Structure 1
Amino acid sequence: MSALDWYLQINLKARHLRLLVTIDTYRNLTQVADVTHVTVPAVSKSLAELERGIGLTLFSRTAQGLVPTQYGDCLIRHAREMLTILHQARDELKALSSGTEGKIHIGMLPASASVLLPQALILLKQRSPGTNVMVTEGTTASLLPELWQGRLDLVVGRLPPPDTLGSFEEKELIEEPVTLMTGRHHPLARRKTVTWADLRPFPWILPPLGSILRDPLERALEAHDVPLTNNYIETLSVHVARAHLQISDFIAVMAGTPAGDSAQPLHTLPLSLPRLLRPAGVLWNRNRGLTPSAMLMVDCLGEVAERLKGEGIRVLAKAHVGA
């Protein structure tokens, strides 16, 4: 066994991991000493012992402070992952000892999971009242790194393109159509027929640049010769979009079937968009696996998705009969 193997397998401790992450965060020994409540010489000694034990220089001393070397970057990345795993183990042990059944950290893509996830949470709480959930809203760009690093157990929402999945496992849950929406008072809402050219004068509520829907939406509108004006609002918030449509002549693109909300009824424009996005679903890190609580959450999401599909079929059937 080499000295490096021996140190990593026998002598490396959680305090070393915390030291690495703290130094990487502050890059200054004085600040590290302040937040860890020890002296600067003690921090310096601990880092020197760690570097000596591993046999590699982890930080370069520069005028700007401590900067990780390539070896430091590597070990810091794994230190963050190991600390996350230890925190998860602590949370599960605390939950078991207190009689609860665990905690799930879920990332939610708000534009596409606003109906699916709340109903699944109701089902989860019916089956396991002791399982607690932390929900964080965000974009794909912000949530997937958190999922990869283990700070999230699941991400629920519109599935990203397959070439971005990497080490993630996915489960498709429900196909949600993308529709063009207005408020009930909008000039186009009073027309029996609407053409693509009718959209040109109106401002838009758009998903932000870089979001999953933005590029395919722009391509679809260009195909119908509907250039986007400079008069628009960008948001991923369904609530903001709904509220603004009630008081303006904006047009929004929304996933799912949001027109039937009794509190904020909307109008669906009778224009068909192609399939712009993948289905809504759930993602997890296949390299980490799922806790029993997270597995139960996936099951609840699947059951709610099947129920929503059935309700959608019934609604479509009624619409067809009444046509």
Structure 2
Amino acid sequence: MWSLRYSQKFLSRYLCVSKQWYALIHSHAFIKLHLHHSIESNTDRTLILHQQHATVPFDYFSVHFPNDDQFGKPMKNHHPPLLRCVNMSTQQIHGLVFVHSNTGELAIWNPLIRRYRKLPTLEKTCPSTMIALGFGYDTRNDDYKVMRVVQFLNKEFDVKMYSLKSKSWKNIKEQWPKKGWTRSSKSVSVNGALHWLVAEHKQSPLCFIVNLDKKDNDVWLMEEYGEGSSWTRVYKIEYDGVFENVKCFNPLMFSKNGKKILMEKCYWGRTFLIWFDTEIKKHRKVKIRKLPYVFQTAICTGSLLLLDGDNVISRY
């Protein structure tokens, strides 16, 4: 399998070489091996930037970076032709990104091979006080899933789960809390489960990054998964002249040596990418020319997922 080391873009050029090559690259076994190699080598990575600005179209851009200090030029990336697709889950799973429009259309998208699967339309959910959407990977069943949680005005919940394998939604009938709560974060997929930061109404939510007196940010880590008492403060991001008016930080990924964190920085109404060094407690701006003014970021691992699926749309 010499070709496993090549990117999905490079491999796609060989689909027309022969029927045998086409069948090999489309096979589920080859796609899984290629994904495993991409994850283990940590070299085939791309930033997917979702531009967010009221005066310009909501475009997507891709920035390839083979290593921590080598970022390519932003290239416009066409998103699935949903009606005004304006939202993107920044939690990508194995190169797949979950996108949803303001009209309720949902899709699972592989932006690096320009293929997507549109999810079956769900019924309207009015009146409701909260709708939460999450995208994750089911490690037990090797399946990619979307969860929709709706809380109605009477505090009742409606929970549905979409499976990429079965291509269908199902109701989740487990008991849910019968009280109001506020979602205070986007979903994160960890250990085969979806997570949100939530709090009961009129209470302050638990936070990963705690700001104290606008002087620094304390970053906390749950050292033992599922054990609340294991929360430990791991380091501080101290303010300086540059950080004085920072609205928020969004951690994206660790560097290859594990000593730096790539983060979004919202500053004076603009978005920047920075590397924060956890040892020397210093940061530096990532130099990428012609970035959008305001954006959200997903880190995509190169994969061929959705290449072997039926009911998948490509060439949009």
More strand by share: 2
Q: TM-score, normalising length from structure 2?
A: 0.22
Q: Normalising by the residue count of structure 1, what TM-score does the alignment of the two structures yield?
A: 0.22
Structure with higher helix content: 1
